[in-house]
Amino acid sequence: MDRSCVILPEEQAPEGAQGCERCELFKQSNRVIWGEGNPNASLMMIMDNPGAREDREGNSFLCGTRETLQLGMREAGIDIHSVYVTYLLKRRPIRAYNKPVTRAACLHHLQLQLLQKQPSVLFGFGNVVSEALFPQKEDATVKALRGNWYEFEHIPIGFTYHPLAVRRRPNLLKFFVEDLKALKEKWEGRATLEK
């Protein structure tokens, strides 16, 4: 398995969002992380929140989440440089916080990104994302949703396990890669339709 991973370029948050104080996370972390990768990509991946991005000395590094995500993408044949990765929460939580209130406050930023970027396909990772985007669903866990396509803001969306869950439970890797392969198929199908 190819284990080479890359640090994707980070996209600056829009001016109005850089100093966001809509939720309590502004007291916990020093900056807003808007997203990374190709800002013009037609595929947007949604993670729960940014992980550690710099080591204690302030040097950029790849956290386990990003490594596992990139390994899965490579196995599925998805070009890492052709996607955009964003977050439900735009700041990295350092300690406990009011999850429902924070997620509701941060959803505004994700909706703004969708309006601006107009991706053709969305893909969410982990229960935090699936449950935040589909609060009305009785069972919005990844286990219940994976393998099917839904709509969020009129855009097709699928789900898979969070890369950290895959890292902790290697038996999930085959399902993770399967889901990413299905994503690639859906994404390529949408690209063909849009031509």
pLDDT at 194 (0 to 100): 74
Counting residues of the chain whose pLDDT is more than 70, the rounded percentage is 93
In this structure, is the dihedral angle defined by the CA atoms of residues 150, 153, 156 and 158, taken in order, positive or negative? negative
Question: Which band of pLDDT confidence, cut at 50, 70 and 90, is reported for residue 54?
Answer: low
Q: Is the pLDDT of residue 56 over 70?
A: no
Question: In angstroms, how far is CA 25 from the centroid of its own chain?
Answer: 18
**pTM of the complete model:** 0.92
pLDDT at 74 (0 to 100): 95
Full DSSP string of 87-101: ESSSS---S---HHH
Q: Is the pLDDT of residue 173 over 60?
A: yes
- The angle formed by the CA atoms of residues 48, 83 and 157, to the nearest 5 degrees, is 55
Question: What tokens were used for 117?
Answer: 């970027």
Give dist(CA 133, CA 137) in Å, integer: 9
pLDDT digits (tens, 9 = 90+) for 120-170: 999 999 999 999 999 999 999 999 999 999 999 999 999 999 999 999 999
Mean residue pLDDT across the chain: 90
159: which residues sit within 8 A by CB, 6+ positions away? Answer: 123, 124, 125, 129, 130, 142, 145, 146, 179
Q: Is the pLDDT of residue 195 over 80?
A: no
pLDDT digits (tens, 9 = 90+) for 1-39: 445 788 899 999 998 888 888 888 888 867 889 999 999
- Tell me the average pLDDT across 103-107: 89
Q: Using an 8 Å Cβ cutoff, are 124 and 161 in contact?
A: no
